[in-house]
Copies of this chain bind each other. A is one copy, B any other.
Amino acid sequence: MTGPRYPALIKALPETVPFVGPEVQERAQGFPFKARLGANESMFGPSPFAVAAMQDEIAEIWKYADSAHLDLKGALAARNACTPQNILIGEGIDGLLGYTVRLLVDQGDAVVTSDGAYPTFNYHVAGFGGVLHKVPYKDDREDILALFDKAAEVDAKIVYLANPDNPMGTWYDGKTIEAALDRLPEGCVFALDEAYIEFAPQGTAPKIDPQDPRVLRFRTFSKAYGMAGARIGYVLGAAETIKAFDKIRNHFGMNRPAMAGALAALADDAWLTEVLRLVDAARKDIARIAKDNGLTTLPSATNFVAVDCGQDGDFARKVLAALLAQGIFVRMPFVAPQDRCIRISAGRPEDMALLAEALPKALETARNS
């Protein structure tokens, strides 16, 4: 009995995953985390109206969700000054990035991203046989003009940028991105990941015609809306491109209560405002805790803060390990010199208190090892 015959592309893929989940780490280390500050989830949770809407909709969970997602598309269209035809709903930005790569990238096609940017995007590019070209960060920011120039140089199908950036929390103002678009080469799609846009200062989101065929913008209910476990993301783009996703997407892939929750969450601006206030307070807490330990932090337009551990990546990895060992789940950038930092999500006061307690010990452990 022989097993499956895999295509060459599949055979060549490594059996690695983009991220090791905190539950997997907890099982490996044999105890649960006390503070979950590593995946930029929102510990403040979703709007109480979203919670109620999801709980109510459980009664309808015997039904598949609307495959056209029209209610949520309508609400998102009203909010984004576009039509429902400019919106694609999908299984989180991760799922939507997968669809996007599949839609655009043939084996051997060039794709451009920053060295150290979102690994799940790279995972999908590799998964469909695209060839990644990486541009270094510049002063801890993704280098938008260098990215676009690289895209022209290698004739890229997609160039990816997160604004605000993950893992550094840095950002461009919208006008800079608008101006940079002139440099985007013909036939290259600009995948603009705005997962953290709600946390950013006014003016961070560029003004782009929803019908601009060059740009796909990725948004999510996983961050500011506190619904990471719901798995709802969306894409804003030209109607013709959005329609093309219908050729490949999992039409009945969405969780029905989650869709009801997203609709309710979108209507509760007061909750969003409160979350942004709490996140800002937590960012200040992280900066203060870092400073109390002689460390500096990067400015952040997200719900996390990059804490500069003041030495090289090996040192930061030791600090990270010592935090994990104390039950504090955090992550860090993969690439130098950004890997001198650890990345800490904005948490509740009790989470921040645990961090304040653990960080000095972690630094001591790292310095003594």
- Contact of A248 with B66 in the complex, beta carbons under 8 Å: no
Residues of the B chain whose Cβ atoms lie less than 8 Å from the Cβ of A67: 17, 19-21, 23-24
Interface string of A204-227 (1 = CB under 8 A from B): 000000001110000000100011
| A106 contacts partner chain B, Cβ-Cβ < 8 Å | yes
Q: A2-B213, A17-B67, A61-B226 are in contact. Are A253 and B92 (CB under 8 A)?
A: yes
How far is it, in angstroms, between the C-alpha of A207 and the C-alpha of B43 when the chains are bound?
46
Pick from B8, B10, B186, B228: contact of A2, CB under 8 Å: B186
A104 B4 Cβ-Cβ under 8 A: yes
Which residue of chain B is the closest to A26 with respect to CB atoms?
Answer: B66
Check if A331 is an interface residue, CB within 8 A of chain B: no
Q: Are A255 and B258 in contact (CB under 8 A)?
A: yes
For chain A, what secondary structure do more than half of its interface residues adopt (helix, strand, loop), or is it mixed? loop
User: Size of chain A's interface in residues, with CB distance under 8 A?
Assistant: 89
Asked whether, in the complex, the Cβ of A13 is within 8 Å of the Cβ of B54, the reply is no
Q: Are B255 and A229 in contact (CB under 8 A)?
A: yes
A29 within 8 A of B: no
Is the CB of A367 closer than 8 A to any CB of chain B? no
Q: How many Å lie between the Cα of A20 and that of B66 in the bound state? A: 10
Query: What residues on B are CB-neighbors of A213 within 8 Å?
Result: 1-4
Distance of A20 Cα from B64 Cα, bound (Å)? 12
A residues lining the B interface (CB < 8 Å): 1-10, 13-15, 17-21, 23-24, 27, 36, 39, 41-46, 51, 54-55, 57-68, 70, 91-92, 94-95, 98, 102-106, 109, 127, 157, 186-187, 189, 212-214, 222, 226-231, 238, 240-241, 243-244, 246-248, 250-258, 261
